[in-house]
Structure 1
Amino acid sequence: MRVAYLSASGALGGAERVLLDVLASLRAAEPSWPLTLVSGEDGPLLERVRALGVEAHVLPFPRGLAALGDAGAGGTLRLLGGMAAAGPGAAAYVARLALLLRRARADVVHTNGFKMHLLGAWAASRATPVVWHLHDFVSTRRAMSGLLRRSAGRCAVAVAVSDAVAKDARTVLGPALRVETVHNAVDLRRFTPDGPTLALHRAAGMPPEPVGTVSVGLVATMGVWKGHAEFLRAVARVPREIPLRAYVVGGGIYRTQGSEVSVDGLRRLAAELGIADRVGFTGFVGDPAAAMRDLDVVVHASTQPEPFGLVIAEAMACGRAVIASAAGGAAEIISPGHDVLAVAPGDVNGLARAIRQLATDEMLRSTLARQGRETAVRRFDRARLASALSPLYRSLLNH
């Protein structure tokens, strides 16, 4: 079977790492299948995909299409205005993409990201099933959801990363759309307690932590809802007598306007809170597993319900104590008090209490780390991705 995957980004954010896991799982399970990736921009994703033996092409977005997004304030107006400005370029892009898909002789087109859901639906031939891989709640993208709803007739099946995302998609896109839940997975050979460690203090340009200091890090993209400001405010509420070093691990990776917070703005907030000496900013990290292994506690602080919460699964796989914002899909993959400490989204005081509790209780950190790794091994092995997707693809061709 020939499967063509479409990715809006060539970066290695959460959705792209999921796509990489899908490709690795299918390459191992179905070595004879020709797999192709088409990305709207070049980046590290392409290099990693080619290393798997997957053919990869860059079909660059025109400028207006590359910056098109509806996240953040004013998203609806910005998207609609951007669509109007990008119209001629978008039409030409769809034509080029359609030609590339014909040359690839794709039996199935699997799209990653809202932009590629639309472009793939428009570019794929009517005889080719299109699979939308939904990594986000469609209802949170008001303008995009309308476009997706009008294009849903071209989608054979949507793959949702959690039951929460699946329920949202059925509500917004209509009951006629087939939606299947396939939880994300983790490369358990890479995300493991043992392995290379990234010295975060060096990456952040800070001196080494004094002996006995507990390191706590928010590992996330710079998305506006990932809770960076809440994390800093929580750290500011941890008493100074508790030896603590906090890290913001991540940097800007996406080109869409209004979708990310700035590191400079977070640095200013840390200074205003009086914790500039307790917080390091590493910038983008290419190996999140190595970064997590340098932390005692990994924090997930999303202020909105999380579609899945990949960093939670990855941190558990790395055998680290985890604090998780328990809502949406994230609530489906954790057992509060057993493999994570759970807090409500946006609860700064609750997050501060959890950080303080783990910073002062080494035995609790150790217990959560061990039990989190056990959960990851039991639930997140990426071999199961092919077990779910291979029969799904076959079912589309048998209709």
Structure 2
Amino acid sequence: MRVVFLSVSDDLGGSEVALLEMIRGLRRARPSWPLHVILPGRGPLHQRVSALGAACEVVRLPRWLARVGESAAGEAGRPRLARAALALRLCRAAAALPFYQRALRTTLARLGPAVLHTNGLKAHILGAWAAGPETHVVWHLHEYIFRRPVTRRLMRATLPRCRAIIANSESVADDVRRAISPDTAPTVIHNAVDLTQFTPAGPALDLDALSGLPPAPAGTVRAGLVATYGRWKGHEVFLRALARLRSGTPVRGYVIGDALYDTAGSQYSRAELIAMARQLGVSTRVGFTGFQPASLVMRSLDIVVHASTEPEPFGLVIAEAMAAGRALTTSAKGGAAELIEPGRDAITHTAGDDASLADSIARLAADPEWRHQLGTAARQAAERRFNPARMASELAALYERVGGVAAERQPA
């Protein structure tokens, strides 16, 4: 069966990392299947996909099409201005759309896939419009869509072109039914983590050097927020929580990640976050490292903080921290709540509440034995819940179910 994956990002966000694990797992589970990935450029994802042995095709995504998105359309305090800006971006994107669609349709016709697996909201719409009648389109939802009115309407209109929907959590599946149709029946397939890469023992990083900070004193507990700079990822909550810690608490914080996506208005800049830390008086107690290899990051931290202020569709950082055997505190909203057993393999704090997060960090920092117990249980849970072989088996079964006779089709 020939499977083509369509992504409109060539960076390495959560859904793109999940895509890599899908490809890795499928190459082991179904080694005879040709796998192709269509990307908008030759960024980091292109390099990683090629290294896994899948064929890469580049169909350039016009700048205005890449930047259009609804993340900032309801921005507090400026909703009318934000909606007007969105309308302008939509108009510019519409002008660029025919050129991309023509190139994408030509590429898909040449490849002749039995299944087109779309990864990302724009990819769902664009892929469904471009796929030929013999290609079965599978949407893989990593995001909520109910609060995105334009996307919601487009996906409802495009639903007849879609053969199956995958949701990465029960929470996302519920959102799909609410947003598109109560009759929709998404298949829930949780993301996987490379359990040979994310391990409790192994190489780590010097986070202080990467942050430009002096070496931390002996006994310092390192707590890190690992996320892109999305405005809902909880950076302000984390910085305020560090400011609340009692004087003398041996904790140093790290903000690990950076701005990533092209969508306008959806993320902080590093300058904004550094200014925020300065205003809160924690600039000497928190370091900003930028993006770093995720497995090395996890092993460099004593406490991993997941602080999303809105429901999380899945929470890949949670899965990676658990696989690395780290003590974890999470806001546990949405799909994130499905990944943990509170008190056994992670602890929780109230989303958006810096006092609650500060209390979680302080309690974990004060009890190294508890951190070890949580980390051990987390690793054991990750081996069951986030196994790549499990995910690959579930994906292959879905493809075979929707592909039917088309599974044997190959291009001329």
TM-score normalised according to structure 2 size: 0.94
1:176 Cα deviation (Å)?
A: 4.0
1:56 aligns with 2:38: no
Q: Which residue of 1 aligns with 2:172?
A: 165
Contact 1:313–1:376 (Cα < 8 Å) also in 2: yes
User: Does the residue aligned with 1:28 lie in a helix, a strand or coil?
Assistant: helix
Q: Report the residue type matching 1:30 in the other structure.
A: R
User: Does the residue aligned with 1:247 lie in a helix, a strand or coil?
Assistant: strand
1:204 Cα deviation (Å)?
A: 0.6
1:36 Cα deviation (Å)?
A: 0.3
1:152 aligns with 2:159: yes
Distance 1:121 1:79 in 2: 23
Distance 1:296 1:99 in 2: 50
1:79 Cα deviation (Å)?
A: 3.8
1:118 aligns with 2:125: yes
Distance 2:262 2:272 in 1: 18
User: Does the residue aligned with 1:140 lie in a helix, a strand or coil?
Assistant: coil
Equivalent of residue 224 in structure 2, options 217, 220, 229: 217
Alignment map for 1:1-399 (pairs within 5 Å): 1-72=1-72, 73=75, 74=79, 76-285=83-292, 287-398=293-404
Distance 2:63 2:312 in 1: 30
1:258 Cα deviation (Å)?
A: 1.0
Deviation readout 1:238-280 (Å, 9 max, x if unpaired): 1121111100000112111111111111111111111110000
Deviation readout 1:358-393 (Å, 9 max, x if unpaired): 111111111111111111011111111111011111
Contact 1:289–1:314 (Cα < 8 Å) also in 2: yes
State which drifts further: 346-355 or 174-183.
174-183
User: Does the residue aligned with 1:293 lie in a helix, a strand or coil?
Assistant: helix
Distance 1:118 1:269 in 2: 37
User: Does the residue aligned with 2:150 lie in a helix, a strand or coil?
Assistant: helix
User: Does the residue aligned with 1:24 lie in a helix, a strand or coil?
Assistant: helix
Contact 1:80–1:143 (Cα < 8 Å) also in 2: no
Q: Which residue of 1 aligns with 2:408?
A: none
Distance 2:250 2:364 in 1: 12
In structure 2, relative to structure 1, the CA distance for the partners of 1:78 and 1:385 (3 Å cut) is farther
User: Does the residue aligned with 2:330 lie in a helix, a strand or coil?
Assistant: strand
Distance 1:288 1:129 in 2: 34
Deviation readout 1:172-229 (Å, 9 max, x if unpaired): 1113433110011100001111222121111111111110110000001111100000
1:158 Cα deviation (Å)?
A: 0.9
1:88 Cα deviation (Å)?
A: 2.8
Q: Which runs of 5 or more structure 2 residues have no equivalent in the other structure?
A: 406-412
Distance 2:83 2:48 in 1: 34
Structural RMSD (CA): 1.2
State which drifts further: 250-259 or 181-190.
250-259
In structure 2, relative to structure 1, the CA distance for the partners of 1:197 and 1:116 (3 Å cut) is same
Distance 1:142 1:347 in 2: 28
Distance 2:165 2:229 in 1: 26
Distance 1:331 1:281 in 2: 27
1:15 Cα deviation (Å)?
A: 0.5
Contact 1:157–1:177 (Cα < 8 Å) also in 2: no
Q: Report the residue type matching 1:26 in the other structure.
A: L
User: Does the residue aligned with 1:398 lie in a helix, a strand or coil?
Assistant: helix
User: Does the residue aligned with 2:312 lie in a helix, a strand or coil?
Assistant: coil
1:76 Cα deviation (Å)?
A: 4.9
Distance 2:26 2:84 in 1: 39
Distance 1:263 1:2 in 2: 42
Contact 2:307–2:352 (Cα < 8 Å) also in 1: yes
Contact 1:164–1:328 (Cα < 8 Å) also in 2: yes
Structure 1 segments (4+ residues) deviating >4 Å? 74-77
Contact 2:9–2:39 (Cα < 8 Å) also in 1: yes
Distance 2:225 2:343 in 1: 20
The alignment covers a number of residue pairs equal to: 398
Q: Report the residue type matching 2:329 in the other structure.
A: I
User: Does the residue aligned with 1:126 lie in a helix, a strand or coil?
Assistant: coil
1:142 Cα deviation (Å)?
A: 2.2
Contact 2:112–2:135 (Cα < 8 Å) also in 1: no
1:77 Cα deviation (Å)?
A: 4.3
